[in-house]
Amino acid sequence: MIRLLINGQSHEVDAEPDTPLLWAIRENVGLTGTKYGCGIAQCGACTVHIDGVAARSCSIRVSDAVGKQITTVEGLAQNGVLHRVQKAWLEHDVPQCGYCQSGMMMAVAALLKEKPKPTDADIDATITNICRCGTYQRVRAAIHAAANA
Ligand code: FES
Ligand code: FES
């Protein structure tokens, strides 16, 4: 058994040490907001925070996440209050199909913690998540709105 701390709660997970963290989050713990896209750290659909830093959970061994604070999109809102990134996403109607968007929001939330007022160049360098629906312009507008909220 492997013990994981996800969204402030402890979970015992029956998984092999080299199981991708994404599968433990989705299959063992049942938090399905974190998505599988590519499985090779390229698309960002599986982005979570590990100790506050954005990480692509498809490419992290579950054993490497032990003892760390893992936050998924389900843990982004605090005490029933949406995170400013979630509010900006709603206000700008960012998602199309929505599949990439939980990973997108997690990447953006981590960026804003690091850089409260990111430039377009910062966004281009950091938000490398892939959106097959092409929501990139709305993502950019919503990032600036969240930064100014
Ligand atoms: S599923 Fe993890 S980066 Fe694509
Ligand atoms: S909203 Fe459909 S993949 Fe991004």
pLDDT 10s digits, 105-136 = 999 999 999 999 999 999 999 999 999 999 99
**pLDDT, tens only, 8-52:** 999 999 999 999 999 999 999 999 999 999 999 999 999 999 999
**pLDDT, tens only, 52-66:** 999 999 999 999 999
Angle between helices 101-114 and 84-91 (to 10 degrees): 130
Cα torsion 66, 18, 20, 122 to 10°: value is 70
Q: What is the pLDDT of residue 21?
A: 98
CB-CB contact of 47 with 129 (8 Å):
yes
CB-CB contact of 103 with 45 (8 Å):
yes
Q: What is the pLDDT of residue 83?
A: 98
Helix (H, G, I), strand (E, B) or coil at 59: helix
Q: What is the pLDDT of residue 20?
A: 98
Span from the CA of 95 to the centroid of ligand 2 (angstroms):
6
Top mutation candidate among 38, 92, 131 for ligand 2, by most atoms within 8 Å of CB: 131
Cα torsion 115, 121, 125, 127 to 10°: value is 70
Span from the CA of 106 to the centroid of ligand 2 (angstroms):
14
Q: Which residues line ligand 2 (CB under 6 A)?
A: 95-101, 131-133, 135
Q: What is the pLDDT of residue 51?
A: 98
Q: Considering the entire predicted model, what is its pTM?
A: 0.97
CB-CB contact of 98 with 104 (8 Å):
no
Closest to 48 (Cα-Cα) out of 27, 33, 64: 33
Q: What is the pLDDT of residue 14?
A: 96
Contacts of 10 (CB under 8 A, 6+ apart): 3, 4
**pLDDT, tens only, 54-97:** 999 999 999 999 999 999 999 999 999 999 999 999 999 999 99
